[in-house]
Amino acid sequence: MMDTRTKLAIEAGFLFQQKGYHGVGISEVLERAGVPKGSLYHHFPNGKADLALAAAEIAATEVLRIIDASFDQAGNYANGVTTFCYKLAKYFDIHEGKIGCPVSATLLGGPDNAAFRDALSGIFARWMGRIADYAMQFGQSQQEAEQSAKRLFLSLEGSWTLARARGDSNVIRQLPGLVC
Amino acid sequence: MMDTRTKLAIEAGFLFQQKGYHGVGISEVLERAGVPKGSLYHHFPNGKADLALAAAEIAATEVLRIIDASFDQAGNYANGVTTFCYKLAKYFDIHEGKIGCPVSATLLGGPDNAAFRDALSGIFARWMGRIADYAMQFGQSQQEAEQSAKRLFLSLEGSWTLARARGDSNVIRQLPGLVC
Amino acid sequence: MMDTRTKLAIEAGFLFQQKGYHGVGISEVLERAGVPKGSLYHHFPNGKADLALAAAEIAATEVLRIIDASFDQAGNYANGVTTFCYKLAKYFDIHEGKIGCPVSATLLGGPDNAAFRDALSGIFARWMGRIADYAMQFGQSQQEAEQSAKRLFLSLEGSWTLARARGDSNVIRQLPGLVC
Amino acid sequence: MMDTRTKLAIEAGFLFQQKGYHGVGISEVLERAGVPKGSLYHHFPNGKADLALAAAEIAATEVLRIIDASFDQAGNYANGVTTFCYKLAKYFDIHEGKIGCPVSATLLGGPDNAAFRDALSGIFARWMGRIADYAMQFGQSQQEAEQSAKRLFLSLEGSWTLARARGDSNVIRQLPGLVC
DNA sequence: AATGAATGAGCTTTCATTCAT
DNA sequence: AATGAATGAAAGCTCATTCAT
């Protein structure tokens, strides 16, 4: 079985991604996780904020996993990007178009403090770094690779937003044609 | 002087952009606007939702104005993009790095209903349409222009997000080099 | 009818005196006053703390009223003290021995901040000042009067405590013999 | 070393004296004592109430010790009172004026039951009895001694209260001039 | 049109206690 | 004896909205 702490963070993650930090009530998380009220503060002493940071971290790692799965067996950078975008689009559809960037909604929507901003920019840096690594593996110079990664990342963030506004994941699928 | 309705929408807009729909309380808006408690529902019968839609509309129009100001006197498309990005970066700095896309935070963070999504995708369409218009004026084919506009818009949305996470507007200023 | 604000402060006063600041829940006050939850913060923007300060102020004024009623028609200081103590003992009995000094329990039991301490020491100063005034009216020098007032006040505070511990108001009635 | 039970009672005592029974949380006591969550109920099966009674008992005994230390080597009753008050004033100052009567706050602030009231009145009786004993040793009749002890005790309780309100221990030091 | 009061559901968090190991 | 997890009631407070004037 999954331990209580992880279960809470995962359920919270789904909800935060859909409705944003302030759009989700603790009770809702607890109910979905099947965990009683008082338990949360045992595992997350700082409450909702801790929960959001943990949820973001889990989502961030999951995205890294998807990046790896997309690029590991790609023949070249463009193929990797395409697989990556298709996987994300599928993920978007599974959640009925209600989910955007899994960390922006959670952390940018939350309290405006250094811990949240640092966590967010750290996660973004890790994502771009990983993509750049693959770009270099496929022959790009470091500078080119960083440009490519940044171009992909920025457009991807935008696509998540536009896809949600439209309720349509095709924006994400069309991304490779736009940035490669 | 500015009428009460507009004053409310503008103050609400600043707050929504910073903290998202659910992160802003009606009282906070009322207090900042110096408007008494009971007044809101005279001007916005549907309450907070109406207020958010009005605030988004004002912000959307302001962005269109900035697009015009940037491209009207640009010699070519790339120059227009550069001016546009510099203006937005300056706007970002004025608000101490606390403000991202002026409509995403307001509407995406809000209740998940058709009215909000339609308003949001409509605004995005208008922005991209206006940019595409200028791209065509500077010689691009319609298809090229739409690609250019989309590329700029998606990256811009991403840049707003990354800039907030980093607390640094340079991402926005570096955008022209990435998308042109 | 009594206005909502006053009704709240009075009911809160009774409860605070019996159970102390932290021993009383807002809901309990609201229920006794027949006032809905949200109303409290309209009349007392700082919530429980404001309520306690208001309650203490009302109780303080009531004690001044009792001092006046006791000394105004007394032939000499000792008679005034006796009447005063008997009135307080009767008040104690009416509340079934559950009430001590009406402001100590409320304010000393509360948050340890300057506002509470200042309010409390201000009230004590007013009480002693009023008693000293009467002592001077009955012929004591200012210095004597201040001594008398302090002696009475300090013992009275102690009597309230001892009376509660014993559940017996006689300590208060025996006070005149001890301090005059 | 001090055993866990005693350590808990002492730390609880300090906190109860400052903030009253309901103003102190179990977690706070546990944390200050460096004792794990589950441990409390091994040492105090009835929980918080037991803890408060134990804390009060320790404080009561400490006060008796101070009475003895003050009167044992005093040449007369007034000297003993003076030493006693100075010691208490010093104790008050050490705790930064945040501590009043070490048992009133703990027990009067607590649940309104017989056990608490009996413990409190018993402690007060012991204190007055001990002071009366010394008064008799210094030549007072039993009746005189009981009067003296009561006068001192009641004023002392009042002084503790006034000292806290003022944040100034001088009231306690001036007590001998008022009651002797 | 304007306004302060009212409203109760809901918020995040802490509470004292009990449980299983 | 010792302990971290669990528990749900209750805490104080804010919410968006409606009402009466």
Query: Does the beta-carbon distance from D178 to C154 stay under 8 Å?
Result: yes
Q: Indicate the pLDDT class of residue A42, thresholds 50, 70 and 90.
A: very high
Q: Which of C17, C155, C164 to mutate to test the interface with D (most CBs of D within 10 A)?
A: C155
pLDDT at D1 over 80: no
The Cα–Cα gap between D171 and C102 comes to 21
Closest CA to C95 of C172, C14, C151: C14
At CA B165, angle to CA B30 and CA B69, rounded to 5?
70
For chain D, give the mean pLDDT.
Answer: 94
The Cα–Cα gap between D60 and A49 comes to 44
What residue type is assigned to position A179 of the chain?
A: V
Calculate how close chain D gets to C121, using CA atoms only, in Å.
Answer: 5
pLDDT at D26 over 90: yes
Q: Which two tokens stand for residue D75?
A: 């040449």
Residue C163 phi, psi dihedral angles, 5° rounding: -60, -40
Per the structure, the residue whose CA is closest to nucleotide F1 at C1' is: D42
The Cα–Cα gap between C59 and C39 comes to 22
**Tokens 């100590």, residue located:** C104
Q: Sign of the C-alpha dihedral, residues C138, C144, C148, C154?
A: positive
Mean pLDDT of the B119-139 span: 97
**pLDDT tens for each residue of C15-37:** 999 999 999 999 999 999 999 99
pLDDT at C1 over 70: no
**pLDDT tens for each residue of A83-113:** 999 999 999 999 888 888 999 999 998 888 8
**pLDDT tens for each residue of A110-141:** 888 899 999 999 999 999 999 999 999 999 99
What is the reported pLDDT for A50? 95
What is the reported pLDDT for C2? 82
Selected residue with higher pLDDT from B110 and C175 = C175
C1'-nearest nucleotide to the CA of A24? E11
Q: Which two tokens stand for residue A108?
A: 């940018």
Torsion angle, CA of C84/C88/C94/C97, rounded to 10 degrees?
Answer: -150
Contact between residue A6 and residue A44 where contact means Cβ atoms under 8 Å apart:
no
**pLDDT tens for each residue of A51-74:** 999 999 999 999 999 999 999 989
Q: Indicate the pLDDT class of residue A1, thresholds 50, 70 and 90.
A: low
D125 at interface of C, judged by CB pairs closer than 8 A: no
Q: Which residues contact C111 (CB under 8 A, 6 or more apart)?
A: C21, C49
- Asked which of B137-146, D37-46, D147-156 is least confident by mean pLDDT, the reply is D37-46
Separation of D107 CA and E8 C1' (Å): 36
Kindly state the percentage of chain D with pLDDT values over 90: 86
Kindly state the percentage of chain B with pLDDT values over 90: 86
Alpha-helix runs per DSSP H in chain A: 4-19, 26-33, 40-43, 48-71, 77-94, 114-137, 142-166, 170-173, 175-179
The Cα–Cα gap between A125 and A100 comes to 18
Query: Please, what are the domains in chain B?
Result: 4-179 (1.10.357.10)
Closest CA to C147 of D149, D82, D174, D85: D174
Query: Does the beta-carbon distance from D109 to C23 stay under 8 Å?
Result: yes
Count of residues making up chain D: 180
Residue A3 phi, psi dihedral angles, 5° rounding: -75, 160
Q: What is the DSSP letter of C6?
A: H
Separation of D57 CA and E21 C1' (Å): 34
What is the reported pLDDT for D97? 85
**pLDDT tens for each residue of B142-159:** 999 999 999 999 999 999
Contact between residue C156 and residue C88 where contact means Cβ atoms under 8 Å apart:
yes
Mean pLDDT of the C64-80 span: 96
Kindly state the percentage of chain B with pLDDT values over 70: 99
What is the reported pLDDT for B1? 60
Mean pLDDT of the D33-57 span: 92
What is the reported pLDDT for D99? 86
Mean pLDDT of the C95-112 span: 90
What is the reported pLDDT for D14? 93
Task: Find chain B residues with C-beta within 8 A of A117's C-beta.
Answer: 164-167
Query: Does the beta-carbon distance from A162 to B156 stay under 8 Å?
Result: no
Mean pLDDT of the B72-99 span: 94
Q: Which of D99, D108, D171 to mutate to test the interface with C (most CBs of C within 10 A)?
A: D108
For chain C, give the mean pLDDT.
Answer: 95
Describe the crossing of helices C26-33 and C4-19 by its angle, rounded to 10 degrees. Answer: 130
pLDDT at B8 over 70: yes
pLDDT at D106 over 60: yes
Query: Does the beta-carbon distance from A164 to B108 stay under 8 Å?
Result: yes
